[in-house]
Each structure stands twice: as C-alpha cells, then as structure tokens.
Structure 1
Amino acid sequence: MIEKTALNSGWMLSCNDTARPSLPSAIPATVPGCVHLDLLANRQIPDPYIDVNEITNDWIGRTDWTYRCSFEAVPDDGRVQEFVFDGLDTIAIITLNGEEIGRTFNMHRTYRFDVSGLLRAGANELAVIFHSAYAYGAEMEKYYGYRPNNYPGPGNLMRKMACNFGWDWGPTLVTAGLWKPVRLESWDRARLAETRVSATLAGGDGLVTVHARLARHGDRTPCRLVAEIGGVTTTVAIGGDEDEVAFELALPSPQLWWPHHLGAQPLYPMTLRLIDEASGDLLDSFKRELGFRSLRLDTSPDAHGSAFTFIINDVPLFICGANWIPDDCFPSRVTAERYAARIEEAKNANIHMLRVWGGGIFERDEFYEACDRAGMLVWQDFLFACAAYPEEEPLRSEVEAEVRDNVVRLMPHASLVLWNGNNENIWGFDEWGWRPIIKAGESWGLGYYLDLLPQLCAELDPDRPYYPGSPYSGSMEIEPNADAHGCKHIWDVWNDVGYEVYRNYIPRFCSEFGWQAPAAWATITESVHDAPLTPQSNGVFHHQKATQGNDKLIRGLSGHLPEPQTMDDWHFATQLNQARAIRFGVEHMRSHRDICKGAVVWQFNDCWPVTSWAALDSAGRRKPLWYALKAAYDPRLLTIQPRNGGLAAVAVNERTLFWRAKISGRRMKLDGTMLAEFEFWRLLCDRFEAKEFPLPEDIVNPDLPRDEVIVVQMLDRRAFHYFVEDIELNLPAPRLMIDVTEIDGGYAVEVTAQNFLKELCLMADRLDPDAVVDSMLVTLLPGDSHVFEIKTTKAIVVQDITIGTVLRSANDLVAKH
C-alpha cells in the first residue's frame, strides 16, 4: 500500500531580498498557506484587508521567498519515493538537501517528483524557492510579446490566479507559497497514476465508467482492479504488460441525483482497490461518492435563434444562479466548513447553480463535495478571464497539463454540469479593441477555446458538455454577446444606464449581470477606521475597486431614489438599489421563461471587505441583495410585468407540481383606500411554466399615479406595481408599532404598519455584528404585521430597534427628501 507522510509542519520562511534587513532571517510558516499569511501571523505586516494597508504590502509580490523544512526519512531501494505538491503558487524551484529536483510554473497543477535514491537516512532538508510573479511576468512579456489584459499585472502570461493582480472587486495581493498540502509518498510495484470516473444513466440503470492508468516499478506484476458501488462488484484483471484498463459497472435502478429545488441528492460510495494478483497485497485505492443523473446542454436552433438550456434528468431547467469568485484572496484560509456554510447560504437564497469564474481557481475538492451534498449545480470555467492569452510554448503545455489534472479530479462530481472555455475573452477580442493591438498571426487564446479545450474534454470527460466561452453565441460568425444565441453578459446596465434597461433584453441565458453596493455596516466598520466615515473617505474609497464605482452608485439612484446626504443613507440607499436592480432583472428574465433559460447574477461572494456586486460579503453577512435573490429565485414567483401595452401578472413555477390557485388584485391608494379590484378563481400554472394573466384596464390605469399601487396576490405570494418611481411616489414618513419577544436562539421583532411601508429592512448587524435576520425587503399595507426573526446571543429590547438606523425602509429615504 502507498505510504503517505504529510510534510505540512516545521516550515520556516525567509526573504531572499537582502534590502529588507528588518525581517527576521527565518519566520515560522504554515503549510498550506502563503507568504502574506505567514508575515501577518508573525506581526511583520499590517492586515492587508484593513484600511489602505493593501498598498503597503505591494512589495511582497515583487520579492523572492524561500520555504524550508527538515524531516526524517528512511531510504528504501525497493520502493519509489516521491514528493507530491498538491499546489505551488507559482514560479518555484524545489531542492532536496541542496540539490534541485524540479521547477514549477503553474498554481493550478499537482506536481510529483521522484526522489528515490536522493533521500538521506535521518534528517533531510526540503526547500522551495519562489520567484516573484511580477519578475517572471516581465520575462514572459519579452518572450511572448504584449497581449491585451483588462486588468493590471501579467496574469495572462502565466498560470496563476488572475485576480491576485487586482480586479474591480479585489485587491492586488500577489501571493506565493505552498497553498495546498505537500507529502512524501512511498510505494512499490504499482499505483493508480490516473483514475477517471464518470457516472451517468443508461435507461433506468446507473452506468459507471472507469479508466485507470498505472504507474509501475520493478517487476511488472499482474494486478486486479476491484470496483464496488451500491452492492455491485466488478473485478478486472490487468496483465503485467498492461498499464491501462477501461471498464463499466451497471447499478440497477439507482435513485436519481437532482438539483436541490427538484429532489434529493443520493450519493453512492464507490471504491476502487488495486491488488497484487500474486500476493493479494493492496497496492492503492480510490474513493469517491457518485450521484446518478442525466445531463445535456441544448444549443439547438429554434424560432428565437438558438437555445442555451440545461436539461437534467430530461427536465429543461431555468437556472437560478450566481457567480462564485475565490472566497478569500488567500485561498488556503477557506476551510471545508466555510465552503459548506457559503454553499448553504446560496441554497437558502434559492440559488441552485454557482458558476466558478475563470479569473480565480479550480476550487478544492471540499467545494465540489459540498455542492454534491447540497444539490448545487456547478458551472466551471477554465481559467482564462478578460485577457488575451499566448498559445505558444511553454504556456500551451502548462494549460494542457492543468486541464488534464483538473478535469480528471473533478469529473466524478454529480454537481458539475459544464466546462466553459473562458470568461469574456472572445467578447473582448470582438468588441473591446483588441483586434488592432494583436498583430496578424499572433495568438490570443482562441485555439484554446475552440480546439485544445474541447479536444481534452472529449477525450477525458465526454459525458459532460463543453462550451467555448461566456459570453459566446455558438459561432464565430455571430457576435459573441447576441441576445438570440448562447449565453450573454449584460453590463451596459450597471456601467452606463439604469436598471430599467434590463427589460430591453430577453437573452437565451444570462450568465453575468450585476449591480454594486457596499458591504454590511459591521463589515465596513471592522475593516475601515476613517473618522468621519464617508463614501469618499480614504478607507471606504480604497475598498471600492470599480472604475468610477461610487459615481455609478449615485448615478444608479437617479430617477429612482433621492441622492443620500448622510453616510447612513448612502449605505442603505445603495444597498436597497442593488437589491431592487437585480430583482427587477431576474423577474423580467424569469417571466420570459419560454425564451430565457437562466439568470446567473454577478456575484454571490466576496474575497475581502469591499463595495461590490456580491450578495454575501466577505464576512459572510447577507446584504439586502441576498434577500432579493431569495424572493426573485423563489421556485414559485409572482411578478407584474409590462405586456402588450398593459400589465400582466406572471406566475412562474419551477416546482414539480402544478400551481393552481385563486389570483386576486387591487389598485389602491397608499393610505389603503380601494380603487379597483379583481378576482380570478383558478389560475393554473403548470410545472416549469410561466403563465401570464392580463390585468384589467381599471387596475392598470391610475387616477393619481403618485398616490397609488397595484397589489396582486396568489396564495401567499404577493406582487406590487408602482406607477412612478419612489422619488415621485408620495410615500409617507413611516408610522409603525414594534414588539420584541425572546425566542429560542434570539428574538422575534413584530412590526405593525400604521401606514404604507415599502421594503422594510431590519439591519441586524447594527444590533450585533453576529446577528442574522430571516427576512428583509418586506412591503406592508396599512394594518399589516410582519415578524422578523433574529438569531443573536445579545439581549435586544424595543428601544434598540431605531427607525432610520436599525429599521430602514424606502419611506424614510423618500419622506425626508
């Protein structure tokens, strides 16, 4: 059996720059980790997430570093002994006892170095010298020539997490280090060098396909590979002259794996055991949990252009999704528990797909395992984003090796439903002015997206769809961001116009669209210590990475909400506007379910405390957008949309059962006076359908637009329509009653409206930084009540629920205007 010795302790870090004598000659280091975390843990640098400390740490990425550790070894001439590095970031030389054993150039690969015969009995020293990524990038630019990049730094000239070099939501923190575990492996005779496992359906049966390749040492002993799953066992002989084997197992009538909104996620443990035929010794093993589901991506031509529809277990889905970025600038800090918590938060927001974006990383196994268990679909980008990439050597071979590593590693996961070639690079070439910069005949990445990547996916993982890019229209003959074909990104709305422009588009699938807002108040005050705290104060402004981002926040309020005059109002108004913008866009797309089959909002999470497009900030606190997504992605959605010169109530049903209920509505004054009403006894919305119900003329035509609202109800779902924007709406100053009751794990805060209250929000982190509230953005008619449940260990009384700070609404923004 393989013997594995972890080498994750006893490491020391040293700086190779003699111009920095203030640093200790050796600093205790943590592996997995990185230089920034080791310097921070040893109080050698200020926390780069706090205030403007990011800029004081820029030198770290421009410096060479060495990690060293001593370990005991027992040489054995009869066994192969190998160092295995699961992740090295990025440009490294590895030495054993002063002798070079390898060089690495790729953060996204696993490396294995044979040190048989090089180990000493007793103490050995392993060293990893990391070369500055900036210096290496300068060398590569001389070698390849310039390639356009929408962001600073040479991330497109090497295989490193691109957003390390800064993004419009992330800091520039260029890391180095052993970011995944390292170990010494010792084995004899044979081991599993590559194991490819896929699980699909063949009729009503589960079908497991296994491809195994062996590494051998010494006499080429005959072996057998024993596979077990769900009570089914298959044994395959591997002759001494064979290094590869392929076979299938059929599992009768397995339970199907579903995305969480449609069904359960049964997972079947599978084991492979490599056994020496002569001795019966166990040489190696492989274990995974498999889920069985069918999968295809429909891109066929139709009356509207060409589709982009995920079909799981023969069900065409509307995807309710969000983009996922690295959850920390220092990925080794993200634990399995943090992955699971973030994915649970996405699930609770009714999200059922996370798109792992191409400027980050292939996440660790724990991420995909958590998605398997949660029923969270995963769209996985290959790691190319917002830049032109050389296709020459040595980068091409690094790309191929990285893709092979990660496709093989991730392909067993039922949650993984798409390999995507790149983020915005085809769009960039076509529309961002790259064409005149890239010389004739010069590569820019297209050969990866249309040739190398699809070939590798077809070879290694043929049961899972590959798509060349996001956005991409399915053909280089069609503009890449067309509405009628493929997947689309909508960014003019945030960058140039207002969120009402979302209704100008009915994409086949929208894989990116977003709106910014600041982080939760507690997150801002934990990370920024400006006095006074304002949108323009140094720390707050530094934690806004988007070009003219604060200006766009204010411009986005124009015509919707009054321009805020205080920090408190700026914070709430911009958060509220973000939530409204995305809910507006999602409900529009879902109402056109017959054409559009997905909305994947930018973005779900953050990597540091920042004003960004995220729904969940870097501390894991929910912004109002989180609650807006929960409502807009509700499997049963009721929304009011413009149709044929009038208005229609649209019921959208993503449940497996039909939705049949009375639908009723009224046009009323904000003070509660009834002006017109209707009732339709049975509206039937079938499963996976959007059903329109035209509203009567006396409902859609107001007498006094500034004073009126339409309210439509279907069972417990309620939708509102206003004839004017809030800045013109006669919203009254909020009048309400508050009652606080202690409950298990926290408090119930009951709010009773004495007048019309629009989008009431209880900002729980203003009471306790660790508090979580269950609901937000609640609109109450006069006389209505709503109970907010707060999880907290802090004592709360009625006097704590202050209007205008803890309890916010559109009313208090507008009424004071």
Structure 2
Amino acid sequence: MHHGWTLHQVEGDLSAPATIPGCVHTDLLAAGLIPDPYLDTHELGLTWIGRSAWRYETTLTWEPSGHERADLLFEGLDTVAEIELNGAPVGNTANMHRSYRFDVRGTLRPGRNTLTVTFASPYAYAERLRAELGQRPGAYAEPYNMIRKMACNFGWDWGPTLVTAGIWRPVGLHEWSGARLSRVRPVVRVRDGVARVSVHVELERTHDEPVEVAAELCGLRVVGAISREGVLELEVPDPALWWPRGHGRQPLHELTVTAGQDVWRRRIGFRTAELDTADGAFTLKVNGRPVFAKGVNWIPDDCFPSRVGRDRYAERLEQACQAGVNLIRVWGGGIYESDDFYELCDELGLLVWQDFPFACAAYPEEEPLWSEVAAEAEENVVRLMPHPSLVLWCGNNENIWGYADWQWKPALNGRSWGERYYLGLLPEIVGNMDPSRPYWPGSPYSGSMELHPNLPEVNNMHIWDVWNERDYVHYRDYRPRFVAEFGWQAPATHATIARAIHDEPLTPDSPGLRHHQKADDGNGKLARGLAHHFDEPDGYDDWLYLTQLNQARAIQLGVEHFRSLWPYCAGSVVWQLNDCWPVTSWSAVDGDGRRKPLFHALRRAHADRLLTVQPRAEGLALVAVNDDDEPWRAEALAVRLSVSGGELAREHLELEVPPRGALTLPLDRELAESGDPARELIAVSAGSTRALWFYLPDKDLDLPKAAYAARLEGRTLHVTAHTLLRDLAVFPDRLDPAAEADDQLITLLPGESVSFDLGVSGLDPLKVTGRPVLRCVND
C-alpha cells in the first residue's frame, strides 16, 4: 500500500505527493517546497517542520475475500500518530521503534476506502511529557529523551536538527483466517558437535483448535500441534559453524516455519556467543574462541532512514570490511536497523553489537514510556535474534557514565533516570526472549554500580579526554580492557564539501563550513590537535590535508596501541565509520560515501599481521600481532635511517608469533636511541609488512624538500621517491568528483615507488601531479 498517498500540513496550506516509505522532509524536498537541508545553512530555516502536525492520506479499493481477519500493518510510524479508516479511529502510536497491526475487518467496506495517518508534532508530544514527568538532563537541550524516536533526529555533535515525521517503513494489508504466526524465536545452541535449535512459536488465533505447525532446517522436519504457544526442537549433527570474518566461513541455513498458509522464513547460523568478563576482562568469544574486536561505531547512514536501502547498506558494510573491520556497534542514539543491515552482516561475517536506543541522557521510567520501551524491546529482540552476526545486546550509550560524572544528580532531584531499564527490564527481556546471547547494561560500564563506569582496568570504556583536551599520543597512557569509543575529527573529502557548501571563498571558518561543524569548539580542537604536530596551516588546502592526516594518524596510533596489548585489551571500536550528511566529524567514510584518509589508515592498523613500534618503560619495542590461525614466523629487519636514506644501525629479530597472539621484542638501544632525532627514523620490515617510528613531531623534523617523479598512465598514478616522502596522498576528487584513490598516506623511502588507482581516466596529468592534488608532509 505504497501508492497514491498525499501529504498535507494540518494547520497550513502545504500539500505534496507522498512517497511511502518516506517522511515529511523528503516529500517536501521532492515537491520543491523546501531547499535541501544538507546544503549550506538551509537546515536553520526548516525547524518549523518538526513543530507542525502532518496528515498522510490515501484511498484503497477492497472487496471481501472470505478471510476472517484483515489487519492494517505498519512496519514503522515516526512517531506520534492517529490512524483513521473511513473516518473511524483505528489506533494511536507513539514509538518509532515499533511496528503496529490493527484489525480493520469491521471497518473496511467494499469498494473505495480512505485511510489517513495524522502525525502530531514530535516537539509538542515530547515537551508535554517533559512538563508532566519533569525535566531530565541530557547532553543537548532538545527533548529527545521524552519520546521513543531516533534521538539524533534532534541534532548531535555530528548531525543536524531535522525532526522528522512520516510513514518510514512499509505499510500493507494482511488478510488471514484461522491462525497466523505472531512470533517465532529460534534459540540456537551448539554443544558437543550438535546444533540444537529450539523454535518457540506463538500464534494469534480466530478459534481454539490446535494448529499443525512445521519447522524445517537442513533437511530435517519437525511437526507439532500448537494452540497458542509451543516449542519445536531440531537437532543438526556436525553443524557447519558460522564464524566472524577473518576467523572462518559464514554458512547460513534456511529455517522455515509454517502454520496453515502462514510462512516464516529466515537464515540462521550455528555458533555460540559469549562475553568473558572474568577479572575485569571484556572479551567476546565466538565458538569458544576469543576475538579481538576490530570495530567501528555505526550511526544512521542518513537523517532520513527511509533513503537507506539494501544497496547502500551493502556499500557501507563492504567499506567496513575493506577497512579490516570485524565488528559493528549500532550506537544507541539511532535505530534498530532494517533486516537488510543484519542479513548483510550475517553474510559478511561482521559481528554486531546492538545498543538499545538510549543515549547521552537521563530517561524517565514512568508511563507511558515504560510500556513503550518494554514493547519495543520485546519486538526487536525477537526480530533480530535469528541473526548469527548479532553477538551482544547493550542497554545504553553513556547514560550510566552521565549519571556518575555529568552533574545529573542535582538536576534529577531523585527522579528516575533509566537505571531500571538497564539493570532490570532490558536484561529480563533478553534473558527471556534471547537466552543464547550476552547482555551488558551500558557502554561504558564497569560491571557494578558501585564502581566508576569508565575505568580502564575494568570491562569496557570510552576515551574522549584525548580528543577534547590532549594530543593523540596520550592514547598510549591507557591500558584498557576494551575501548568501545574513541575518535578524532576531520573534515569530509573536498568533493563532498564542494557539493554541499558554496562559500566564496571556502575557508575553515567560512559560514557554510562552520555550520557543518557541530561539535562544541570543534574547529578549535582541530587546531589545537594540529599544533602539537604541524605549523599553522596556510589556507584551506593545507588545513584540509593536515586535519585529515592528523585524524588518520591519531586513530592508527590508538588502534595499534590497543592491539599491542592483546589479549589484555580485547577490542577497539573506533568512533565512527559513517556520517548521515556532509559534515566535519569523526567518520572514516563521509556523508557522500567517500573514504577519508582515515579509512586507509584503519585498513593498515587492522591488518591480520601487524608490526608496530611502541614505547615501553624500558625503551622502544617492536610488537608483532598475529590475528591469523597460522603461526607467524619471519625474520624482521629493524633499521635506523637518516632522512636522506643512509643506514645508521640495524638489528635482526626473529618473529615467532603464535596464532591469534602477540609478541613484544625490545629494540636494541643502539638502534632505538637517536643521535639526531630531527633527521632520523626507524623502519622495521618483515616481508611486505612495515612499521615506521619518527622520534619527533613533524614540525620539529628536518625533512628534505620533496623530490619525486610522477606520471599518469590512464587511471594509474605512478610515483617514485627521490627523497623521503612522508605521508604521500593524492586527492583526484579535486578534479573529478567521481575520482577516488585506492590508497592514501604512503611514506616512501628514497628510491621506493607506489602506484595509485584513481578510479577514472582522462584527468589532467599536470594537475594530478601538483598541489593540491598530490601532497606530502614535506610540502
């Protein structure tokens, strides 16, 4: 039922054709009634949309089919809605995170029927509840904690304030008789070489006689007679196990459940998922094997989620895989993503950490919110539990930390703030509905309300003081068990900025670019971060290159440090993979889907076999990390070099790193200690794997003037270094928005060469080989 809809402003004269699924903003934009909110500062003129009421209307032709029931099914309504059919009330909704089913068999009439869905202003609803229940503190002044809706709709430190309304997921009419499958919950357990699948079935009925229900899996078929609820048991001997990417294959098996004419079908996988928290650890185990989480945080990929389909999910998740990622954390200020997202994670072997949608605020526990949270959690746990990629449920993002540290307690004055959700309701629902998966109350959380929630030595933590206050080298000050968030900002790619912002001239502080920086003092923090390593940038071009370089270096340093602590530290989850619009943010992939230099640094830092030079108490050490099932045996050569390429000292090191292990080898003092730190570096190589160590920040290095030969052949740029070239990068999107280099930030020693695939042909060779397209720190 996606055709023939119209949109009307309830107290106004705006009307437009409506696209379902969609929202008010996308319909008004398609009709030319508003400017694109992603461009320039247009967002500021569109706040009235979230403060208006809107009505969607369509007509449907229906004739009696003989079925006993006709249900109007909404998979997603955003958010506070009244539904009427032929002028008669059908139902009310107040939760974006739920689906709704209404029996309309007695309201439908033969022939033409009129269906209307009227959305109240989200602000009006949330502000009314805030007045009734009392103010609750949060990271932002907006009332996102008073309504069960995507919190970042109300703006975030990387997102615009675009408060939506609309029919954001599919709508249809479902006719049935006798019985339908209202819930199917496959609980998968693997033990002693057998996969046991308990298929919990719940039926909705129009009569009381038992119904034959069948479950089929891997050539097995089990049948049972069920009246309302029942369990069908299947046992699969010698199952092919599902593994995370990098650890094995991802076989999926179709499970089909049938009750009369009603069929439920999903692909499941056989695997176990555990969270080991013994002695303060926070280690995910799949099939009994500890897994280092090479993770990224995921935010909604668009402010208007109906625009994100399977193809876009596939593109973004494939980019995560290309960056060496094995875990996606679905952050709690967004949504439970669509089935497409989790199906793709199943296929790709991407582990999913799923936050419940609570973020950065105190949340009331009173009605009507308590019942809404319970209903939403039950529905989504049941919906998502078939997916083997889902390995962890988490109660919230930063709310326990906020209660402990962000001066909430005086403002709360004894009022509820969400603790009963995270420590009571949600673990009870997960325990009852999905007992095969672990639940954790929050991120960060130290396992007890008696402990500070963000302790490095206990369970999981977030590291934000480094970005907010310090140089990124201070990531090394931490010895965490698991880092679920840490990040460093940089602007979007030039092509994305040029499409979205039309400032003349374009400068770091020009109005449009400044508007697309939502973090508190974000540009100031970028500048202070640069000042530790570089002289002040000379204009926009240098600023763009150096801030993107600084982001990449910061995160690569952090990831390599955390990986060097394995198995004590069992994961690093970078904030963040993606963006929802064109913005300066912590992302590796910008709002137009273009890869920032950070993406390439992540790929290197996540390599299965990693060499990294780390400062230790006794001096510099080489750490070799082997995230592979085979031992890593190799001879490493460590060389101290002058920046002109001359060898000053060398050391041979024997690597014998066990499978899924790490090895730390102190570097010889003669090699590790520099006589002229401004003009020396260390290079350590084992086969094609290399690590570099510079003794000083770039601003204090005496780098040679860049000298190289560069030539363009078709879509390939070849560069040969005559001098040391520090963090060589090429930005062909400066010339063609469709162009994108396949690698970035390559340091070449004198005589070394690299080739970049630029993605397109026909670029001007003179422009490709000069600034601002071809850059290095030596500039």
Place the TM-score, normalised by the shorter chain, in its bin: over 0.9
CA deviation string 1:681-707 (max 9, x = no partner): x31011111101111111111111100
Offset at 1:759? Answer: 1.0
Residues 389-404 of structure 1: pairs in structure 2 closer than 5 A:
389-404=363-378
The structure 2 residue matched to 1:516, chosen from 489, 510, 514, is 489
Q: Find the partner of 2:294 among 320, 325, 336.
A: 320
Question: What's the offset of the Cα at 1:797?
Answer: 4.8
SS of equivalent to 1:56: helix
Letter in 2 for 1:230: C
Candidates 243, 252, 255, aligned match of 1:258? 243
The aligned amino acid for 1:688 is R
Task: Give the match for residue 664 of structure 2.
Answer: 692
Deviations 1:8-29 (A, max 9, x none): 11100000123xx4x3xx3100
Does 1:704 find its partner at 2:676?
yes
Determine the structure 2 residue equivalent to 1:114.
Answer: 103
Distance 1:154 1:720 in 2: 48
Give the distance between the partners of 2:732 and 2:469, measured in 1 at CA: 33
The CA distance in 2 between the partners of 1:749 and 1:797, in whole Å, is 11
1:383 correspondence with 2:357: yes
Letter in 2 for 1:807: L
> Which aligned pairs between 1:16-35 and structure 2 lie closer than 5 A?
16-18=10-12, 21=13, 23=14, 26-35=15-24
- Equivalences for 1:631-642 in 2 at 5 Å? 631-642=604-615
Q: Distance in 2 between matches of 1:380 and 1:779?
A: 37
Q: How does 1:617-656 map to 2 (within 5 A)?
A: 617-656=590-629
Residues in 2 aligned to 1:644 and 1:328: alpha-carbon distance in whole angstroms: 45
In 2, the alpha carbon distance for the partners of 1:594 and 1:140 equals 47
Tell me what 2:579 maps to: 606
CA deviation map 1:442-494 (0-9, x unaligned)? 11000000000000000000000000000000001110000111110000000
TM-score (norm 2): 0.99
Structure 2 matches for 1:155-234, cutoff 5 A? 155-217=144-206, 219-234=207-222
Alignment counterpart, residue 341 of structure 2, candidates 367, 380, 392: 367
TM-score, normalised by the number of residues in structure 1: 0.94
1:546 alignment counterpart: 519
Which SS does the other structure have where 1:436 is aligned?
Answer: helix
**Mapping of residues 373-772 of structure 1, within 5 Å:** 373-440=347-414, 442-680=415-653, 682-742=654-714, 747-772=715-740
Q: Distance in 2 between matches of 1:505 and 1:370?
A: 34
Match of 1:343 in 2: 317
Q: Alpha-carbon deviation of 1:594?
A: 2.6
Please give the alpha-carbon distance, in whole angstroms, between the structure 2 residues aligned to 1:115 and 1:457. 32
SS of aligned partner of 1:139 = helix
Post-superposition offset of 1:78: 4.6
Q: Report if aligned partners of 1:560, 1:725 keep a CA contact under 8 Å in 2.
A: yes
SS of corresponding position for 1:166: strand
Tell me if the contact between 2:644 and 2:704 (Cα under 8 Å) persists in the aligned partners: no
Contact 2:711 2:769 in 1 (8 A): no
Identical amino acids, percent of aligned pairs = 51
Tell me which residue corresponds to 2:91.
102
Q: Which amino acid aligns with 1:156?
A: N
Secondary structure of 2:633's aligned partner: strand
Q: Is the 8 A contact 1:486 1:508 kept in 2?
A: yes
Letter in 2 for 1:99: A
Query: What is the one-letter code of the residue matched to 2:708?
Result: L
Q: Which residue of 2 aligns with 1:782?
A: 750
CA deviation string 1:342-395 (max 9, x = no partner):
000000000110100000000000000010011111000000000000001110
Is residue 144 from structure 1 mapped to residue 144 from structure 2 by the alignment?
no
User: How far does residue 740 in structure 1 lie from its aligned partner after superposition?
Assistant: 2.1
SS of equivalent to 2:8 = strand
Secondary structure of 1:773's partner? coil
Amino acid at match of 1:353: L
Distance 2:305 2:346 in 1: 21
Cα deviation for residue 77 of structure 1 reads 6.5
DSSP-derived class of the 1:536 partner: coil
Give the letter for the 1:340 counterpart: A
Task: Report if the CA contact (8 A) 2:51-2:121 is conserved.
Answer: yes
Q: How far 1:76 sits from its partner (Å)? A: 5.2
Deviation of residue 739 (structure 1)?
A: 2.3
Gaps of 5+ in 2: none
> Which amino acid in 2 is paired with 1:614?
S
1:775 Cα shift?
1.2
Can you give the 5+ residue segments of structure 1 that lack an aligned partner in the other structure? 1-6, 276-282, 813-817
- Residue 244 (str. 1) matches residue 253 (str. 2): no
Q: Which moved more, 1:254-263 or 1:415-424?
A: 254-263
Which stretch of structure 1 is more off in the superposition, 758-767 or 611-620? 758-767
Per-residue displacement from partner, 1:118-162 (whole Å, max 9, x unpaired)? 101000000000000111111101111000011132110110000
- Report Cα offsets for 1:614-655 as digits up to 9, x if no partner: 000011100000001001111111000012331011000111
Preserved contact between residue 189 and residue 221 of structure 1 (Cα < 8 Å): no
Contact 1:77 1:117 in 2 (8 A): no
- Offset, 1:313: 1.3
CA shift for structure 1 position 772: 2.7
- Residue 221 of structure 1 aligns to which amino acid in structure 2? E
Aligned partners of 1:289 and 1:764: how far apart in 2?
Answer: 42
Partner Cα distance (1:51, 1:183) in 2: 38
Question: What SS does the corresponding residue of 2:214 show, helix, strand or coil?
Answer: strand
CA distance in 2, matches of 1:254, 1:766: 51
Query: Is this contact kept in 1: 2:187–2:435, CA < 8 A?
Result: no
Task: Tell whether 2:2 aligns with 1:14.
Answer: no
Find the aligned partners of 1:75 and 1:232 in 2 and give their Cα distance. Answer: 38
Aligned-partner residue type, residue 275 of structure 2: L
Please say if residues 354 and 377 of structure 1, whose CA atoms lie closer than 8 Å, have aligned partners that are also in contact.
yes
Structure 2 counterpart SS, 1:405: helix
Distance 2:530 2:603 in 1: 23
Alpha-carbon distance between aligned partners in 2 of 1:733 and 1:248, rounded to the nearest angstrom? 71
Q: Is the 8 A contact 1:773 1:789 kept in 2?
A: yes
Deviations along 1:153-177, whole A, 9 cap, x unmatched? 2110110000000000000000000
Q: Report the Cα offset of residue 224 of structure 1.
A: 1.3
The CA deviation at 1:809 is 1.3
Q: Give the alignment partner of residue 296 of structure 1, picking from 274, 282, 289.
A: 274
Instruction: Report the Cα distance in structure 1 between the residues aligned to 2:763 and 2:194, rounded to whole angstroms.
Output: 56
Counterpart secondary structure, 1:811? coil
Cα distance in structure 1, aligned partners of 2:641 and 2:217: 61
Supply the distance in 2 between the matched residues of 1:198 and 1:520 (Cα, whole angstroms). 44
Instruction: Tell me if the contact between 2:222 and 2:232 (Cα under 8 Å) persists in the aligned partners.
Output: no
2:221 maps to a residue whose letter is: T
User: Between Structure 1 and Structure 2, how many residues are aligned?
Assistant: 779
Whole-angstrom CA distance in 2 between matches of 1:474 and 1:764: 48
CA distance in 2, matches of 1:790, 1:233: 53
Kept after mapping to 1: 8 A contact 2:579/2:589:
yes
